[in-house]
């Protein structure tokens, strides 16, 4: 059946997005196969105890910094061969805490320095770049504040610099608080996919792998040869490791050396981390891809994989395009099934390409313990689906060159389920992105109803998974909201501003929940009155096309007239100079006669008159057969006209007005919360 131009554009976007997403998905499965093809056992060589500088970039990490310093100073390595550089850009109590720690360890004979630049220029990359100017050791190990290196780390890792071209050794991240919550379990599984599939596959081959910013050791010569640390992107680790490999250096991943770290327990912190990674990757793609493409010494497969890794976050905007397009296409009766006469094959294809394949990969990753990890997969799918909005904003920020401050992920020293972060400093409020997540959630509810009423129930699980993800991320962002505090709230009496902010926060939560419920009700009600009658009309027209009984056809036409009157009551009218109504059309601009419901009504009346005449004509006459063919052709054309008009019913004037009011109400709540947040910042400054 022909598709109208608007729907055709949506369909093309949907298919292009599906092809690209499938390509990135299949590449991950290719890396999963590559990760299982283990090369020769990694060689080690006794290098003795070469000099190592351990650099610890710190910014406001008072809850975890002592744990880090204690672990580093407890390394089983000669004190005279280690220099510990604490690169502290903090502006809170962390500074005093570090001064005390450093003085204590200096008295014990450690070469440990508390380095204060006096500026945050370049953020973490700037601190590392500054430190390289005063570093003279052969190797440089880097740990973020939330990591806990084991005592044997250096002695086990350094021997893997067995070949002169090995410039970096990246170790696997462990998860000290993996079982703290569903959020941390989902993050842990996602990170394990990255390390045990992607990093392992690339380390085992000639493909480029990336430094993960921590839990790794660099050869000093490699850093200098690659051009040192750059501050142009939010992921200085990815940038430097790619530049090093373009120079011919080899990066090695050691899956058996695990360094435990703390996963973000607060949803807003996890979203901030994901945002930084997504935006930084696209920044590196813009910065490096041309040079990688023209580099002759880089293999073609390595170039392709570099392109895929640096651009893989464009999948998130494509996911949103598909999510927005799917209900429109279903409402337009566009066939999206893999095999049109077997709709179940479509759902089976999604399951095999998605959860089914991931379960196989989990089995290969965890062996005997795979079942417990597989139980986390549904949560990971919901988590990743809900993050599509957050990461899409990050992608567009990078593409349009928006400058962002390097916002580090706050950590709270969370290990056991009894530990709590809610009353600690560094807590984050939800951002404007949450508004978009709520919008997509409500849109998804409408999409579920469209898939049901358009007789496409196979798409309900697909739309439902993403809808649950958007609502889940939005809900957790709001429920985990704590206004940013530079100071701890322990043993403090709440000020008047803080009490008022707490009241505003509670009222805002009630308001947001009320607006979401109202938006869902309006979406369902609007579909029932604006779109569902058109769906019923198309169903009756199908009945007319497939019938040869005049009485049955007449019943269908009468039912269509009833629905047509409901639709036409809400359509804007166009009159001529004499005041006569000449059009009722849902299309605002460039309206055509094919979507004029007044004409459609006249055609229906003509068909009704024709069927009354045909009903008294002998069935074996040529007039009867000619008349029935004319009725069928008219029904088919009217069905096409109604399909053309359906997408425009979504953007009717009342719908646009209600949506504008709905969004404005949410923005007003966000503005109130933002205002109170600024007031609390002023309180913090004065504390």
Which active-site residues does the annotation give? 89, 237
The CB-side HSE value for 536 (13 A sphere, CA atoms) comes to 19
Q: Which two tokens stand for residue 500?
A: 């008022």
Q: Which residue has 């998130």 as its token pair?
A: 316
Identify the CA nearest to 362 among candidates 190, 135, 202: 190
Q: How many CA atoms lie within 13 A of 396 on its CB side?
A: 10
Q: Give me the torsion for CA of 198, 204, 205, 211, rounded to 10°.
A: 50
Tell me which residue of 282, 275, 226 sits closest to 388, measured CA to CA. Answer: 275
6, 22, 141, 247, 379 from 10: Cα distances, Å: 7, 18, 50, 44, 30
Q: Show the 3-state SS of 446-500.
A: HHHHHHHHCCCHHHHHHHHHHHHHHHHHHHHHHHCCCCCCCCCCCCCCCCHHHHH
Mapping DSSP onto H, E and C, the string for 105-148 reads: HHHCCCCEEEECCCCCCCHHHHHHHHHHCCCCCCEEEECCCCEE
Calculate the CA 12 to chain-centre distance. 22
Distance, CA of 458 to chain centre: 24
Rounded CA gap, 579 and 562, in Å? 26
C-beta pairs of 544-551 under 8 Å, 24+ apart in sequence: 544/631, 544/632, 544/635, 545/632, 545/635, 545/636, 545/639, 548/628, 550/611, 550/614, 550/615, 551/615
Q: In terms of DSSP bridges, do strands 139-142 and 52-58 run parallel, antiparallel, or are they unpaired?
A: parallel
């Amino acid at each position: 059946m022909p598709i109208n131009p608007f729907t055709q554009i949506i369909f093309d976007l949907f298919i292009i997005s599906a092809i690209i997403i499938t390509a990135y998905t299949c590449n991950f499965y290719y890396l999963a196969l590559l990760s299982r093809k283990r090369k020769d056992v990694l060689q080690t060589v006794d290098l003795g105890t070469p000099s190592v500088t351990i650099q610890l970039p710190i910014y406001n990490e008072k809850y975890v910094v002592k744990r880090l310093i204690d672990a580093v100073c407890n390394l089983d390595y000669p004190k005279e061969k280690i220099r510990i550089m604490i690169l502290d850009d903090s502006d809170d109590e962390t500074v005093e805490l570090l001064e005390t720690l450093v003085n204590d360890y200096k008295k014990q004979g450690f070469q440990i320095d508390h380095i204060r630049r006096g500026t945050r220029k370049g953020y973490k990359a700037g601190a590392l770049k500054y430190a390289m100017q005063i570093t003279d050791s052969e190797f440089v190990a880097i740990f973020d504040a939330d990591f806990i290196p084991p005592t044997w780390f250096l002695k086990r890792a350094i021997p893997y610099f067995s070949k002169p071209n090995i410039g970096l050794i990246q170790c696997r991240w462990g998860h000290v608080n993996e079982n703290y919550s569903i959020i941390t379990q989902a993050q842990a599984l996602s990170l394990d996919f990255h390390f045990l599939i992607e990093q392992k596959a690339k380390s085992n081959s000639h493909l480029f792998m990336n430094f993960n910013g921590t839990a790794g050791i660099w050869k000093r010569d490699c850093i200098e040869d690659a051009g040192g640390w750059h501050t142009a992107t939010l992921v200085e680790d990815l940038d430097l490791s790619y530049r090093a490999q373009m120079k011919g250096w080899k990066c090695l991943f050691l899956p058996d050396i695990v360094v435990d770290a703390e996963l973000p327990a607060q949803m807003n912190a996890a979203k901030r981390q994901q945002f930084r990674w997504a935006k930084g990757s696209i920044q590196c793609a813009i910065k490096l891809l041309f040079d990688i493409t023209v580099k002759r010494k880089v293999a073609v497969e390595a170039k392709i994989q570099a392109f895929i890794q640096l651009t893989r976050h464009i999948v998130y905007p494509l996911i949103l395009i598909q999510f927005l397009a799917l209900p429109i296409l279903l409402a337009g009766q566009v066939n999206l099934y893999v095999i049109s006469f077997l709709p179940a094959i479509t759902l089976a294809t999604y399951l095999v390409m998605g959860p089914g394949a991931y379960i196989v990969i989990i089995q290969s990753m965890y062996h005997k313990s795979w079942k417990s990890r597989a139980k986390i997969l549904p949560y990971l799918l919901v988590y990743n689906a809900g993050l599509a909005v957050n990461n899409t904003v990050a992608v567009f920020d990078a593409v349009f060159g928006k400058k962002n401050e390097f916002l580090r992920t706050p950590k709270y020293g969370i290990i056991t389920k009894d530990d709590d972060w809610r009353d600690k400093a560094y807590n984050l409020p939800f951002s404007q992105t949450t508004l978009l997540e709520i919008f997509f959630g409500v849109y998804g509810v409408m999409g579920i109803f469209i898939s049901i009423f358009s007789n496409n129930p196979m798409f309900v699980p697909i739309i439902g998974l993403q809808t649950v993800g958007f609502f889940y991320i939005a809900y957790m962002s709001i429920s985990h909201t704590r206004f940013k505090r530079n100071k701890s709230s322990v043993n403090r009496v709440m000020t008047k501003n803080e009490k008022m902010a707490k009241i505003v926060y509670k009222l805002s939560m009630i308001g947001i929940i009320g607006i979401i419920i109202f938006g869902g009700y309006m979406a369902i009600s609007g579909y029932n009155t604006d779109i569902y009658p058109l769906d019923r009309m198309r169903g009756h027209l199908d009945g007319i096309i497939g019938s040869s009984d005049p009485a049955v056809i007449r019943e269908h036409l009468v039912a269509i007239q009833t629905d047509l009157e409901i639709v036409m009551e809400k359509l804007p009218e166009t009159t001529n100079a004499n005041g006569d109504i000449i059009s009722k059309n849902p299309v605002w601009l460039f309206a055509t006669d094919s979507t004029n419901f007044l004409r459609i009504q006249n055609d229906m009346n003509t068909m009704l008159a024709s069927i009354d005449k045909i009903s008294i004509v002998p069935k074996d006459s040529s007039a009867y057969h000619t008349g029935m063919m004319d009725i069928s052709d008219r029904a088919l054309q009217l069905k096409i006209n109604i399909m053309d008009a359906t997408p425009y019913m979504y953007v009717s004037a009342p719908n646009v007005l209600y949506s504008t009011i709905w969004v404005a109400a949410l923005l007003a709540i966000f503005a109130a919360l933002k205002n109170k947040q600024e007031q609390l910042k002023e309180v913090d400054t004065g504390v």
